Structure 1
Amino acid sequence: MANQEPDLVEVVKDGIYIIRFNRPKRKNAFNDKIMLGLAPALERAASNPDAAIAVITGTGDYFTSGNDLSNFSKGAGSGGGGGASDKKGETNLEQLAQAANGSFNRLVKAFIDFPKPLVAIVNGPAVGIGVTMLGLCDVVYATNRAIFHAPFVSLAQAPEGCSSFLFPRIMGPGKAAEILLFGKKVTADEACKLGLVTEVFPDEHMDQIWPRLHQWAKLPPVAMMRAKGLMRAHLKDKLHEVNDLECKSLAESWTTEEFMAALMKFFTRKSKL
């Protein structure tokens, strides 16, 4: 067990800072270690002089299945018995929502402010934050077996990752509504046509991405940062404003009866699988 890799792996190789979600048995779901560790990892990648670009990917068959909802079931677990215990469970959930709001806000800020080229290699299905973060990446490559799903409304939550602003801008309001309001699942090829994915690769040829990235890592790093800064300059303030608004709405949604009912339904359905 001493040699077990952490839930979030960071490696610098040939000018590339690789950040890898590493909970393959849990479909790379975001637990506290990933949720709290990803922003500092991005900050380390930004300041590392040996890395010209950064890559985010996952271990195993999934990119990430999104936020681990068991965090919320634990937060509300002391409630449910009636009277005082209900109030305690409600207080726990409110505190958890406030804490999650702060950590989530910092995470999205790290994406918004990341100064170097940021590439996502979507090695499998992406859910929730695994989908919305892609709008904040510069280039997105995906395996042809990837599926993209943002089930926010079905779980009585609000969209995040600046997706409420970026998705209509990237794919048009109608297509964005299908994904963010109605939770429509899209394939990698569909996501590419919508503009969320840059290029789709056959799963057995995903290794073809790396020689391309190694070539890009040899480009003048300051010039790349300057170019990205110009591309992002007119959006940055707006993205921070959207992030604050989304996080506020998300934290509010986490304390509603509607969310608790959706959470109970989710775990009841999961236990029957």
Structure 2
Amino acid sequence: MTELQRSLRNSINCFSKGKQNVSLITRMVSSEAAKPSWKNSNSKYETIKVVYLDNITKIVLNRPQKKNAFSFQMYREVTSALDEAGQDDSVLTVLTGQGDYFSSGNDLNNALQPFTGGAEEMVKEGTGVVRDLVHKVIDFPKPLVAVVNGPAIGIATTILGLFDLVYASDKATFNTPFSKLGQHPEGCSSYTFPKIMGYSKAVEVLLFNKTLTAREAFNVGLVTEVFPDSTFQQEIWSRLRDYATLPKNCLALSKQLIRNLEKEKLHAVCQKEFELLANMANSEDAINAIQRFFQRKAKL
């Protein structure tokens, strides 16, 4: 074999190995890029999960054994997670539930917690944590989306009037059983619901405990769109990932431009609602309603 032939063969071998290396590197990069870059950055939370993916911060109510009922701790943790999400790099933030329920609302076991100051301290604590959450939602600087995967009760329904988008599975229902519990509307629903769905329908829902199906909630404007439960998660997250590619600052500033028109009004409504709730929390109606609830629960 001549020197020229040996040189040519070595060149071919080197080229072939180079192609193999490039191909290997390409496959490694492609494989790595295909992996979801989940960032579960908030393991400090016990009642919720917070994950980040594709420019979306997802806050998951994570008490499925309690139908994602809001304990005092959950109120505080969701408020904290929203505070962090409002300052992170995400384009939008999503609230959803783990399991079959979005949330069964306020955990009435909150009323059984021991407080050294008695009923007065319990009322102050209870109204305080809920009010803090509502104020945080009112002031949230980015698009805020509710992905309602199942039944939403009480605060889990009323607060939806403050969200920018509400997507629901066709298995979701919406109920505000306040009068049954001797309570009053909150989450600014005394203002947002009549504005969204009209006065008489809001009265039917807030005063007379009318349960709305997902389709009914869509028809009155509380829900943005309804999806079949079988394809709900796939369709929703595909759409939200597309939304999250839009310019972050443009979306945030546009949302704030719209919300600022009513922000002062919403804070005033929230304050008024919780003043009424605090004043009536120890009323005979409320006490009797709570007692009946636990009596029924004990018989189950």
The TM-score normalised by the length of structure 2 is: 0.83
The separation in 2 between residues aligned to 1:35 and 1:250, in whole angstroms, is: 17
Amino acid at match of 1:29: A
**Greater gyration radius:** 2
The separation in 2 between residues aligned to 1:57 and 1:231, in whole angstroms, is: 24
The separation in 2 between residues aligned to 1:258 and 1:124, in whole angstroms, is: 30
Contact 2:47 2:77 in 1 (8 A): no
Aligned to 1:55: 94
Residue 67 to residue 224, structure 1, CA distance change in 2 (3 Å): same
Deviations 1:198-226 (A, max 9, x none): 00111111121101101111100110011
Residue 5 to residue 249, structure 1, CA distance change in 2 (3 Å): closer
Aligned to 2:276: 249
Contact 2:45 2:77 in 1 (8 A): no
Deviation, 1:6, is: 2.6
SS at 1:65 equivalent: coil
The separation in 1 between residues aligned to 2:113 and 2:105, in whole angstroms, is: 17
SS at 1:35 equivalent: helix
Asked if 1:128 is matched to 2:167, the reply is no
Deviation, 1:75, is: 4.7
How does 1:15-30 map onto structure 2 within 5 Å? 15-30=55-70
Aligned to 2:33: none
Instruction: Name which of 245, 266, 274 aligns with 1:218.
Output: 245
Deviation, 1:4, is: 11
Which residues of structure 1 form unaligned runs of 5+? 77-87
Aligned to 2:135: 109
Amino acid at match of 2:186: E
Instruction: Name which of 199, 205, 210 aligns with 1:173.
Output: 199
Deviation, 1:149, is: 0.6
The separation in 1 between residues aligned to 2:150 and 2:75, in whole angstroms, is: 19
Contact 1:73 1:263 in 2 (8 A): no
Deviations 1:130-170 (A, max 9, x none): 10111010000001011111001110011100000000000
How does 1:63-212 map onto structure 2 within 5 Å? 63-75=102-114, 92-206=118-232, 207-212=234-239
Deviation, 1:73, is: 2.9
Deviation, 1:5, is: 7.8
The TM-score normalised by the length of structure 1 is: 0.91
Residue 5 to residue 107, structure 1, CA distance change in 2 (3 Å): closer
SS at 1:47 equivalent: coil
Deviation, 1:103, is: 1.5
State the aligned residue count.
257
Deviation, 1:74, is: 3.5
SS at 1:234 equivalent: coil
The separation in 2 between residues aligned to 1:253 and 1:9, in whole angstroms, is: 34
List, as ranges, runs of 4+ consecutive aligned residues in structure 1 with deviation greater than 4 Å. none
Asked if 1:41 is matched to 2:68, the reply is no
Aligned to 1:234: 261
The separation in 1 between residues aligned to 2:44 and 2:259, in whole angstroms, is: 38
Deviations 1:56-86 (A, max 9, x none): 000000000001001113359xxxxxxxxxx
Contact 1:75 1:93 in 2 (8 A): no
Amino acid at match of 2:268: E
The separation in 1 between residues aligned to 2:147 and 2:258, in whole angstroms, is: 21
Amino acid at match of 1:115: P
The separation in 2 between residues aligned to 1:95 and 1:244, in whole angstroms, is: 18
Aligned to 2:52: 12
The separation in 2 between residues aligned to 1:142 and 1:104, in whole angstroms, is: 23
Residue 136 to residue 263, structure 1, CA distance change in 2 (3 Å): same
Contact 2:72 2:126 in 1 (8 A): no
The separation in 1 between residues aligned to 2:297 and 2:200, in whole angstroms, is: 31
Aligned to 2:5: none
SS at 1:19 equivalent: strand
> Is 100-109 or 137-146 further displaced after alignment?
100-109
Aligned to 2:12: none
SS at 1:219 equivalent: coil
